[in-house]
């Protein structure tokens, strides 16, 4: 298995973590009774940290499919190389760093990290376009 595929696997682990983080916080906010209910009535709005983690998760889910498909295509056509490896590392590192930066509410740094993750995807796409 190539390093790029390993990084893709870790990106999926990150996705699961990003599903769990806001879910756990939200459960603490709404309580067991609400979580076990039919949820016919809307819950109170999420807290600040929970909301940020929910938005960070949504942001990951906007780019993760593109990243995953790009990695799979490069693997299928045998175009892995320095660009795809660098792109994969940039993406996963940026996405990991993005979570605490977003949670802390650091606006401009968060946007810069997001751009780095997109640049990583672009590097992966270059050899297959």
* pLDDT, tens digit, 9 for 90 and up, residues 11-25: 999 999 999 999 999
Q: Which two tokens stand for residue 47?
A: 């807290």
Q: What radius of gyration do the chain's Cα atoms show?
A: 17
Rounded CA gap, 23 and 53, in Å?
9
pLDDT value of position 41:
87
Place of tokens 């996405």: 95
Confidence of residue 39 (pLDDT cuts 50, 70, 90): confident
Is 101 a residue whose pLDDT tops 90?
yes
Q: Which two tokens stand for residue 94?
A: 């940026």
- Model confidence pTM above 0.85: yes
Q: Return left, alpha or beta for 39; rule: phi > 0 is left, psi -120 to 50 is alpha, else beta.
A: left
- Backbone φ, ψ for residue 37 (5° rounding): -80, 175
- Please name which of 68, 58, 57 lies closest in space to residue 91, comparing C-alpha atoms: 68
What is the arithmetic mean of pLDDT over 66-73?
Answer: 99
Instruction: Say if domain 3-128 classifies as CATH 1.20.1250.20.
Output: no
Q: Which two tokens stand for residue 37?
A: 């209910």
């Amino acid at each position: 298995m190539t390093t790029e595929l390993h990084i893709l696997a870790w990106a999926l682990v990150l996705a699961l973590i990003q599903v769990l983080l806001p879910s756990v916080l939200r459960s603490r906010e709404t309580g067991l009774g609400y979580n076990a209910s039919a949820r016919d009535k809307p819950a109170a709005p999420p807290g600040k940290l929970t909301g940020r983690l929910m938005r960070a998760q949504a942001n990951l889910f906007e780019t993760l499919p593109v990243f995953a498909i790009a990695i799979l295509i490069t693997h299928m056509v045998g175009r892995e190389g320095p660009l795809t490896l660098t792109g994969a590392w940039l993406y996963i590192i940026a996405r990991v760093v993005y979570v605490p930066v977003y949670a802390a509410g650091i606006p401009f740094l968060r946007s810069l990290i997001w751009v780095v993750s997109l640049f990583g995807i672009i590097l992966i796409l270059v050899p297959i376009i």
